[in-house]
Amino acid sequence: RLKLLIHSASNLPRGDERGLSDPYVVCFLGEDEAAPAFQTQVCRQTLDPVWDEEHLVNPYTPGSDMVLQVLDQDDTFKDITERLMSFRGVGSDFLGEVRLASDEFYPYGFEGDLLLEGVPEGRNALLRLRIIVDEGKIQEFV
């Protein structure tokens, strides 16, 4: 199994007309990008969110790559109507993503900042996280 600490992001692009975003992270494993492994809480009105959330991925299949997408939740009626009309899904704008091959975090884990790809406005946005490979020996993050 894997323990992930989604710490923070920095320098995210604006997601609304107020110049801020309501970002959250969605994690996908392997080829199945239809069923997320987990999702963080939404941080309101910020371009530099701090989640400090721990998530357990159990079971983890060695060899499965990981995709972490940072999305902006939109709650306005206008945003929801536009998404329904365009069939893009309700309430989320893409802010960037990180794709990690399995050998980048398994079996030794990972800790650090990762540059988000596909970021609107061409910003150099970062995602900070920690991945611990837990074979039943680790009880909690240090």
Condensed to tens digits (0 to 9), the pLDDT of residues 30-72 reads 876 678 999 999 999 999 999 999 999 999 999 999 999 999 9
CB contact burial 22-39 (16+ within 10 A = b; e otherwise): bbbbbbbbeeeeeeebee
What is the reported pLDDT for 39? Answer: 95
pTM score, whole prediction: 0.83
The predicted pLDDT at position 15 comes to 81
Looking at residue 45, what is its pLDDT?
A: 94
The reported pLDDT for the residue numbered 85 is: 45
Burial class (CB in 10 A: 0-12, 13-18, 19+), 18: exposed
Q: List the alpha helices (DSSP H) in the chain.
A: 77-86
122 phi and psi angles, rounded to 5 deg: 65, 25
pLDDT in tens, 91-134: 578 999 999 999 999 999 999 999 999 998 889 999 999 999 98
